[in-house]
Amino acid sequence: VAKNDIAHVSLAEQIKSHTFDRFYEAICCGRFKEEKGTIDAPIGRHPKDRKKMAVYPKGADTAKEAITHYKVLSYNPELDCSSVELSLETGRTNQIRVQLASKGHAVVGDRKYGQGNQNSPIDRLCLHARLIEFIHPVLEQKVSFEAPIPKEFRQFK
């Protein structure tokens, strides 16, 4: 989204220093044991499928640090899924999808890392980039951009 090199350098530095905030909302399979928490699980290329990513043990040479914070917003027992708010400390490829699936809570509709959800009334990946906040590279003020939650997500709450 950067329109010039100065903006690009500024935004890249903010992402590196963890001051570029990204918030997501997902509908996940199952009920979480903890209402909020942190998933600290390194991610690297899947050992057999180069088009996928995978969670690795800490210290693995083939993986990079990946940290996701989550907060359960609601649980729907009828559909056996949870609405979850997520924020990223790092930004690895498919980070949210890979980490949630590794914990047994695949994102509903995720055919790549999960089984989808047979009870789902909609047929798509239920992951939404809801909000980003960062310091504007020129104005040097915090700016926020928010996208409303898709209407079909309401069916799960």
Higher-confidence position of 33 and 19 = 33
β pairing state of 53-55 and 43-45: antiparallel
Task: With beta carbons less than 8 A apart as the criterion, state whether 137 and 7 touch.
Answer: yes
The pLDDT-based confidence of 155 (bands split at 50, 70, 90) is confident
pTM: 0.88
Question: Residue 134: beta bridge partners?
Answer: 143
CA 95 to chain CA centroid, Å, is 6
For residues 100 and 141, what is the distance between their CA atoms, to the nearest angstrom?
33
For residues 20 and 1, what is the distance between their CA atoms, to the nearest angstrom?
13
The pLDDT-based confidence of 2 (bands split at 50, 70, 90) is confident
